[in-house]
């Protein structure tokens, strides 16, 4: 099991019914990136969208010279997509 899914599984143990909220999605993304709230810079985004009928949190934030983006399944807490790019 990869690190992202392990983190998701640990977080889901705390969630009744398997549905995560936006705070929990933020926690998963920040934990995966090893970033604290104090390191965040500029705008941060967290949107709940439906992709092919599945609820997906789309998260984006800036920290330590990078832009981080995450798609997290709101039903399971699994990380679907992650990216990290240099922030100009």
CB atoms within 10 A of CB 87: 14
The reported pTM is 0.76
Q: What are phi and psi of 12, to 5 degrees?
A: -65, -25
> Which CATH number do you get for residue 49?
3.10.450.40
Identify the pLDDT of residue 11: 52
pLDDT band (50, 70, 90) for residue 1: very low
User: Can you give the residue range of the structural domain that contains 71?
Assistant: 3-86
Domain count, the chain: 1
pLDDT tens-digit profile of 47-79? 999 888 889 999 999 999 999 999 999 999 999
């Amino acid at each position: 099991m990869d690190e992202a899914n392990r983190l998701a599984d640990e977080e889901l143990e705390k969630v009744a019914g398997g549905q995560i909220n936006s705070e929990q999605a933020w926690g998963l993304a920040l934990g995966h990136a090893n970033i604290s709230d104090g390191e965040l810079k500029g705008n941060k985004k967290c949107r709940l969208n439906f992709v092919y009928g599945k609820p997906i949190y789309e998260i984006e934030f800036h920290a330590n010279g990078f832009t981080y983006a995450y798609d997290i399944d709101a039903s399971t807490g699994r990380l679907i997509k992650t990216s990290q790019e240099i922030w100009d």
